[in-house]
Amino acid sequence: MRRRLIWILLLVLGFGLVMLIANGGEEAIVRLAPGDFSRLIFRVVLAVFIGGMVLALFRERWSHALESALIWVAVALILVVGYTYRFELRDVSDRVLAELVPGRAAVRGNVVEIARGRAGEFGVAAHVNGAVVPMVLDTGASAVVLTFEAAKAAGLPIEVLTYTVNVDTANGRTRAAPVTLDRLAIGNIVERSVPALIAQHGQLHSSLLGMTFLNRLESWQVRGDKLIMRGYP
């Protein structure tokens, strides 16, 4: 009985904390008003608590009943505290994931932080016209440059491109096609009508985050192992 209660406690507590964090973000699966969410937590804890009490009393285990009551009171308090600090918990989870997942952005308002990758580069998971495009920061690139595959994924008209711009790549000098990206987003930073280039098929291994995006920011800097980009409010 005691072991079963502990497992139920851990499952409810884990689910509650995940819901607390997820409900505070813009991409939450289920959106609940603060009052509704508080009532939901209270009802779940109360239902499990009453069930445990009834089972314990039925088996005449008064000490276990008291122990169960104290456990569920502790659960309720932890969930209330977690709900109170849900935004801080979300920031912490974003920072942890940004360290563990290459290219994932840690977002604080209009500030985006990217951790340096193991190879020493700053990989960025950008969104181009809604498509996820992995990029590498390249301050030597005068423009954002997409691989042929990335341009295709972003829905750009690759069949009618004209390769008229000379560019230097790791494979030597080649030509690229000028385009304008409707939307380029990294974290909460969103820029529209961004000039970019598309490399010919097989000429570029990774898309480059160049100056046509960086120059639009309020500021950007590399501080230690972090790329910090600040967009305009």
| Dist. CA 151–CA 231, nearest whole Å | 24
Strand, helix or coil for residue 13: helix
Query: What is the signed CA dihedral for 110, 81, 12, 37, rounded to 10 degrees?
Result: -70
Range with the lowest mean pLDDT among 17-21, 179-183, 185-189? 17-21
pLDDT of residue 173: 78
SS3 content of the chain, % helix, strand, coil (to 5): 40, 30, 30
Of residues 218 and 96, which shows the higher confidence score? Answer: 218
Q: Which two tokens stand for residue 102?
A: 């290459």
- Which CATH code of 2.40.110.10, 3.40.640.10, 1.10.630.10, 2.40.70.10 fits the domain covering 98-230? 2.40.70.10
pLDDT of residue 3: 54
- pTM given for the model: 0.60
189 pLDDT band, cuts 50/70/90, is very high
pLDDT of residue 165: 93
Residue ranges of the chain that CATH labels 2.40.70.10? 98-230
Range with the lowest mean pLDDT among 74-78, 134-138, 207-211, 227-231? 74-78
| Dist. CA 194–CA 191, nearest whole Å | 7
